[in-house]
A and B are shown apart, each in its own frame.
Chain A
């Protein structure tokens, strides 16, 4: 289904960017810059468009640009759309950000030297996704120079057609592509996977690159605007772990199954609580949580309500809250980012929120 992918690639967040007051040296202070930021893009790529707007008022010195939202320095390697979905629970339009050209917080943020840093971060993520899907990064590492350039440019420019053309050479078919194969997508992407296939050639098992951003609230809220603001990265658990798909005959692996497999503790069935707690630590392998998820697929979705610990308030991907019963393979195929990671923002209501102390 080309449509959804197209919408994702065309999606953009209107930004209103204010220069930090400490860097304003002229009166009257400059007006904020207004810019449309592609969802699948990255903030540093906007700098060439923003800088001219503030150039004349900056204090002397070398530019070390960084962005901030309500005091929180923004991690530049996280796609803009994900930052927005995560930090702006009640979507703010335009999204008001502050830009700094001085005083880079190098103890918190990884250095960014403009487009090159973003490009290499993207390519490294793509390598990681490739490794997860195929068990090696060869296809990315062996890309010809022109192809690499073409790939990056297609992302930079938000050109889906160009992207699909060059990325198809990477053979990054994901597990569970049987769903996308069934759709009349007119797909011009040839997809392969190294997962096990059954007699019909449909992929049953494999690993899917996912980045999960989880944050908890201790008090319930009905309206998003009442949701508490995230004011520290410590409040977000970043889980960079592939989802393992173990396809089962006649059963569909849903988005809910995927989220459950990454947050197994939280999805305890009340009836199985005793079994869960008797599991030995250290015996557990990565696969165990999703195997449990596989066993429990026969349960109704409704009954997968969590133990007293936590309750899912929100699952947001590319700015939408998909129904959790949607086949995971559809979600991946259509909502993933160009580096082949699916970024999922999850808000849980927990009985007690602890902030881990810094090591």
Chain B
């Protein structure tokens, strides 16, 4: 892939390759935490069946309110960092730390390919342990503080409620409008990716490391390791 002329978007086939890579690497790197899985979607007989359709799913996970750690998350993990001891914690995304007013809430995260934007899109649901969905106002309180900050420009992380393309139910969605742009920036800043030619394999992982911050999903640093 020629990074210099690339617009940051990917094809459906590339999305599948990237999804497979994410699932495999995640399993390898953080076997303790719940795995991402690929969900295939059955289709009506008149819709093209030679195309694989589906989405990535990570469900029933607890994401902590990590307001205290926002400094760590604002910087993109550098590959030169070698001190792993305090990175161990980051692998366990189910770490609990409740403040007085927090209740435990669960997230379902789905990554769906958008044919319009040619990028992955994050859909998510938030609910209490009894399954009751959170009101949007309460979701906002649970999101990491930096979600509201200007680093994650509102243009890119605008959250809307829309119908899930496969499940046909209301889900929250992160608006994909600027994704292509910042994926291009992300990759351009990393010359080794271009040389490796393995850009697609890490596309979703890189994407998730950025987008996941909006909901407080932490990517184990090992996921971003090229070696």
Give the chain A neighbours of B170 by CB distance below 8 A.
Answer: 106-111
Against A, the Cβ 8 Å flags (1 = close, 0 = not) of B10-37 are 0111101100000000000000000000
Contact status A265-B46, CB under 8 Å: yes
Stretch at the interface among A147-155, A162-170, A349-357: A349-357
Secondary structure type dominating chain A contacts:
loop
For chain B, give the interface size range. Answer: 35 or more
The verdict on A354 contacting B42 (CB below 8 Å), with A107-B169, A111-B170 known, is: yes
Which listed residue (A120, A127, A284, A359) contacts B51, Cβ 8 A?
Answer: A284
Known: A108-B169, A263-B48, A281-B52. A124 touches B175 (CB 8 A): yes
1/0 per residue B157-190: CB within 8 Å of A? 0001111011111100001010011000000000
A234-B168, A284-B13, A285-B13 known; A265-B50 Cβ under 8 A: yes
Alpha-carbon distance A62/B215, docked complex (angstroms):
32
Nearest CB in chain A to that of B47: its residue? A237
Contact (Cβ within 8 A) B163 A75: yes
Q: How many angstroms between the C-alpha atoms of A113 and B97 in the bound complex?
A: 35
C-alpha gap A54/B68 in the complex (Å): 52
B74 interface residue (CB < 8 Å to A)? no
Of A10-18, A130-138, A173-181, A295-303, the segment with at least 4 beta carbons within 8 Å of chain B is A130-138
Contact across chains for A128 and B116 when beta carbons are under 8 A apart: yes
Interface size class of A (residues with CB under 8 A): 35 or more
Q: Which residues of A contact B44 (CB under 8 A)?
A: 214, 216, 237, 350, 353-354, 356
* A88 CA / B69 CA spacing, docked (Å): 55
Q: Do B42 and A281 touch across chains, with their CB atoms under 8 A apart? A: no
Instruction: Check A359 against B167 for contact (C-beta < 8 Å).
Output: yes
Proximity bits, A215-252, B CB within 8 Å = 1, else 0: 01000000000000000011001111110000000000
Complex Cα gap A306–B42 (Å): 22
Residue of B nearest to A358 (CB): B167
Closest CB of chain A to B219's CB: distance in Å? 25
| Interface status of A279 (Cβ within 8 A of chain B) | yes
- A264 interface hit (Cβ, 8 Å): yes
**Which residues of A are found within 8 Å of B177, using beta-carbon distances?**
127, 131, 137, 141
Is B160 a contact partner of A124 (Cβ separation < 8 A)?
Answer: yes
User: Which of chain A's residues has its CB closest to B7's CB?
Assistant: A135
Q: A124-B175, A359-B39 are in contact. List 10 more A-B contacts (CB 8 A).
A: A110-B170, A128-B117, A131-B117, A214-B46, A216-B46, A237-B44, A284-B13, A285-B14, A353-B44, A358-B168
